[in-house]
Chain A
Amino acid sequence: MTFDNENILIKEAHPRLTSSGDRDRFKELLRKRLIECGWRDQVRAMCRKFVKENNGPNNVTFDMLVNQVTPRARALVPDSIKRELINKIRENLHRQRNQ
């Protein structure tokens, strides 16, 4: 993504998505899809394993967990879900622009 595109995203699209509530609706939709496809369970298992390997929750900080799990969790998100979300967000932005 070029800098200009990113700027437009921050200055225009982001506030618009937030104030209309669609950002939160997309978040909720994504959450649903990730639960449906088993992603959440996989990630939960990964976290549990990491905590166990480090001898329990008192030896693990949130940042350690995030650093360990994020790359693999990202990779586990099915392409079909990314595609669905991108298409729907794009559609939504187009419609708002044309209004």
Chain B
Amino acid sequence: MNDNGCIHLNNFKAAKGTKPYKVVNAFFVSCTSFDARRYKATTCVCFTCGKPGPRMHSCLHCIYFGCYAGHIQDHSKSKKHFLYIDLSYGNVFCAQCQDYIYDREITEIALTNRVKEAKSLGVSVPYIPWLPNHNEAMALKRLRKRRVISQHTTIGLRGLQNLGSTCFMNCIVQTLIHTPLLRDYFLGEKHKCKSQGSGKCLVCEVSKLFQEFYSGAKTPLTLHRLLHLIWTHARHLAGYEQQDAHEFFIATLDVIHRHCMNGVEDVEKKENGRCNCIIDQIFTGGLQSDVVCTSCSGVSTTIDPFWDISLDIAGTSLQTCLERFTRAEHLGSAAKIKCSNCRAYRESTKQLTLETLPIVASFHLKRFEHSSQIDRKISTFISFPAELDLTPFLSSHRRAVDVGAADNNNAPEGIFEDNRYSLFAVVNHLGSLDAGHYTAYVRQMKGSWFKCDDHMITRASLREVLDSEGYLLFYHKTVLEYEGDVS
């Protein structure tokens, strides 16, 4: 089977072009406008039996609608019309060949309309799986070696040597290596380096690291070079003494992001002028702060980008910490803020909510308290779930709750919204403040967890992960939405 159609479709296209297909597709298959949807709603029934399907088809010649089981076959016999469009999927059926026909041009039209339809519905654009182009197909034929991923593969798992007290770094590297979207980016060799081969590009170094992790070798790796590169870029982390894993995480993201910004890579800025590098695509969310003046109820809203959320240890679970984080807080008389409405300093309340969610949501439980009097670690157990729904902490959701909308959870758009996240890495700090050790749990595949303790990698159960103390918690969006480019 190929995608060059059949002789009947080709004859039709030669006589009438693709316009008939295009029009029927845009009105009855992928409705690209509100009018099209309304039109489809009232007319899309079988002209013979009056039912809306199953498997409604439209005659490509005269736009007769009929169900597949019988009525289009009758139509083709009586009218000698042989080409039909499946109104559910847009495929073309040829009654002479008695099968569906693949045609490249038709497929492209159908795809363009599907993207337009998704835009007009406000849903994510359909995922288009990777198809090898000619060169890639040739390469695949030439290189016959394949690696099959099964339940028992240990691919991607490698220990990291401790170079003094570098466990803080090892556990962050393990987390990044097992961040699904970041892995796909680097293993897909998406980093197009401008300073190729100079040996100074940190992003290239990270890229190489991914290759080594997934090479299939099992011996522990040593991170000398990466360490050196990060240290030259983030001087405050220099030295071999123990550092804070959280600080290292943020510094690493920052170093990679700045590398991309400073022209190592051609990164297109987003409309709002913000950086759109791989780090920002994956880790950046928007934090909304609403300050409400208690005198005039005027609201001033600001939105700031964030890479992670630091949470005070409050209550017993991640959710209670998040509730506390997004609760409206009275700022009191000691912290008056200038209200632009009243033109005076006023008392106010402040509320933080999540305006946009990142693909990876990183939570930092503030277990370390540093003050002039005392430095201490809070080891309270905070439970955290394997699956987390962030909907209740969204700005839009909070607004609905405050306004008291009838049933906030079921706001029309709420049904189709999906803000579920899955845990994929946990960094733990063991021991005391000054004699501590970091380890990480990472999810290698769905349901497959491993503990990374420097050079040692051991299998772990989800229970074990969820029972751990938890210092840094990493969640990945469960279902990815796609944005398409459509002109």
Residues of A within 8 A of B (CB): 10, 14-21, 24-25, 28-29, 31-32, 35-36, 57-58, 61-63, 88, 91-92, 95
Pair A25/B123 contact, Cβ less than 8 Å: yes
- Partner-contacting stretch, out of B38-46, B76-84, B230-238, B430-438: B38-46
| Range, interface on chain B | 20 to 34
Contact with A along B446-485 (1 / 0, CB 8 A): 0000000000000000000000000000000011000000
B35-73 residues at the A interface, CB under 8 angstroms: 37-38, 40-42, 44-45, 51-52
- Partner-contacting stretch, out of B277-285, B319-327, B410-418: B410-418
Asked if B121 lies at the interface with its beta carbon under 8 angstroms from chain A, I say: yes
Asked if B308 lies at the interface with its beta carbon under 8 angstroms from chain A, I say: no
- Least CB distance from B484 to A in Å reads 13
Residues of B within 8 A of A (CB): 1, 31, 34, 37-38, 40-42, 44-45, 51-52, 98-100, 117-118, 120-121, 123-124, 126-127, 410, 412, 415-416, 418, 478-479
Pair A36/B479 contact, Cβ less than 8 Å: yes
Known: A28-B123, A61-B99. A91 touches B52 (CB 8 A): no
Known: A24-B31, A25-B416. A36 touches B478 (CB 8 A): yes
Pair B1/A15 contact, Cβ less than 8 Å: no
**Measured between alpha carbons, how far is A48 from B410 in the docked complex, in Å?**
40
Known: A25-B416, A92-B415. A62 touches B41 (CB 8 A): no
In the A-B complex, the 4 residue pairs with the smallest Cβ-Cβ separation, listed nearest first, are A19-B41, A18-B41, A15-B41, A57-B1
15 example contacts (A-B, Cβ-Cβ < 8 A) are as follows: A10-B45, A10-B52, A14-B41, A14-B52, A15-B42, A24-B31, A25-B121, A25-B416, A28-B121, A28-B123, A29-B415, A36-B478, A62-B99, A62-B100, A88-B415
Pair B37/A58 contact, Cβ less than 8 Å: no
**Measured between alpha carbons, how far is A21 from B116 in the docked complex, in Å?**
13
Pair A24/B42 contact, Cβ less than 8 Å: no
Contact of B37 among A21, A92, A95 (CB under 8 A): A21
**Measured between alpha carbons, how far is A14 from B44 in the docked complex, in Å?**
10
Chain A residue nearest in CB terms to B446: A38
Contact of A29 among B34, B120, B416 (CB under 8 A): B416
